[in-house]
Amino acid sequence: MSERLQPGDTAPAFTLPDADGTPVSLSDRAGRKVIVYFYPAALTPGCTKQACDFTDNLDLLAGAGYDVIGVSPDKPEKLAKFREKENLRVTLVGDPEKEVLQAYGAFGEKKMYGRTVTGVIRSTVVVDEEGKVERALYNVRATGHVAKLIRDLSL
Active-site residue list:
47
Angle (CA) 78 87 94, round 5°: 30
Cβ burial of 51 (10 Å; 0-12, 13-18, 19+) is: buried
Residue 98, by phi and psi: left (phi above 0), alpha (psi -120 to 50) or beta?
A: left
